[in-house]
Amino acid sequence: MIQGKVGSKNLIWKNTPRGKSGESTVEIDGREILVRWRRDDQGIWIETDRGVVGYDVRKSVNDDGQTEYLLHNRRREELISGVSFLKAGEEGDSSGAKKIKKGSKIKSQMPGKILRIHVKAGDTVKKGQSVMVMEAMKMENEIKSAQDGVVKEVKVAEGHAVETGAELMSFV
């Protein structure tokens, strides 16, 4: 059994998802539903009675040393950070997931080199707006803002090499 929070939803997986695909009963805020999943190289597709949704999943370790996941909804410009899960018998704070809000930061999800920066401190950005381009694994990756806001600080420059987890930008 695995339990945790994704956004405002409390989840309890009755059976731990294993393998490339499968199905399990999941309790979401007290309501049990059948969930089917299929994993791919970037994340997971989840099918419920309400439809199918895909998430790119990135694993990281927070400042407290706890494992967290960053979920990017493949169909909407929605980014959910701080997702954490507890295995049966574990205790701790699984309040975890929250939508990115003002005062947040953009961190590198993989090592790479900053090619272009489209904004500067003080610029107003809209959710989904491209803020920079990073080369990683011989591909150009567009980094978009997950929120409306004002850029507080750009912490990198064009040509800089960055590691996974490096802070790229912060918002006020």
Asked whether residue 44 carries a pLDDT value surpassing 50, the answer given is yes
Residue of 101 and 8 predicted with greater confidence: 8
State the pLDDT at residue 51: 86
Tokens of 22: 């499968």
CA atoms of 58 and 155, how far apart (whole Å): 21
Binned at pLDDT 50, 70 and 90, residue 127 comes out as confident
Q: Which pLDDT value is given to residue 99?
A: 41
Alpha carbon 71 to its chain's center: 3
pTM of the model: 0.44
- Alpha-carbon distance of 2 to 15, in angstroms, equals 7
| Residue 138 DSSP label | T
pLDDT at 94: 39
**How far is Cα of residue 27 from the mean position of the Cα atoms in its chain?**
22
pLDDT > 70: percent of the chain = 79
Mean pLDDT over 117-121 rounds to: 94
Strand partners, 162: 112
Task: Give the pLDDT confidence score for residue 102 in this predicted structure.
Answer: 47
Give the model's confidence band at 120: pLDDT under 50 very low, under 70 low, under 90 confident, else very high. very high
